Chains A and B, each alone.
Chain A
Amino acid sequence: GQNIDQPTEMTATEGAIVQINCTYQTSGFNGLFWYQQHAGEAPTFLSYNVLDGLEEKGRFSSFLSRSKGYSYLLLKELQMKDSASYLCAVRDSDYKLSFGAGTTVTVRA
């Protein structure tokens, strides 16, 4: 199974940068996903890492270190619409995802 930890809450100012860390202990690592979930809605895909390094997608970037069991999601130029919960999920060799409890990001004007 997987044990996935991420902070519960983070607050940042509009236009700033926020980094959400995720640590995991895994049996059979097969990729790490980040999802965004607005209140009352379904999770939506943000990023995927399977090899070490940084993946950049517009204002969002995600980093992975497999040897350290560590990932982060970087949100740049924060906008009010970025206020949401961000979920770290690790995929195993059976294509099942294990999720962290989520980090609620609040963006303030």
Chain B
Amino acid sequence: NAGVTQTPKFRVLKTGQSMTLLCAQDMNHEYMYWYRQDPGMGLRLIHYSVGEGTTAKGEVPDGYNVSRLKKQNFLLGLESAAPSQTSVYFCASSSGEGSETQYFGPGTRLLVL
């Protein structure tokens, strides 16, 4: 039982390049989330999904797209990276039930030059 995994762990991009971050969970969770974490600002929700085939915008969705084609996977895409997207990205999943917490992946550090 791996929990929540993220690939890659670290990436350097040039401005204008594109990339996809992959999140996978093996807990059969319905809800999945993508956050970014920047110094002094805490975790901010980019996009989330309440089930396979669904996606919704969070607090800071601009410049990102997501897809949830399979229940266990949630992909975050950057079509044209900008230096402002330099951040640490965390994926999380939860069952959404009662006191059930969100479980976080180990994070992806992205540097956009």
Q: How many residues of B contact A (CB 8 A)?
A: 23
Distance between Cα atoms of A44 and B92 in the complex (Å): 11
- Interface of A, secondary structure class, is loop
Distance between Cα atoms of A100 and B42 in the complex (Å): 6
Distance between Cα atoms of A87 and B102 in the complex (Å): 13
Residues of A within 8 A of B31 (CB): 95
Cβ of B74 < 8 Å from any Cβ of A? no
Residues of B within 8 A of A95 (CB): 31, 50, 94, 96
B residues lining the A interface (CB < 8 Å): 31, 33, 40-45, 48, 50, 58-59, 90, 94, 96, 99, 101-107
Q: List 22 A-B contacts (CB under 8 A).
A: A33-B101, A42-B106, A43-B43, A43-B90, A43-B104, A44-B104, A45-B101, A45-B102, A48-B99, A48-B101, A50-B99, A94-B50, A95-B31, A95-B96, A96-B33, A96-B48, A97-B43, A97-B45, A97-B102, A98-B59, A100-B42, A101-B41
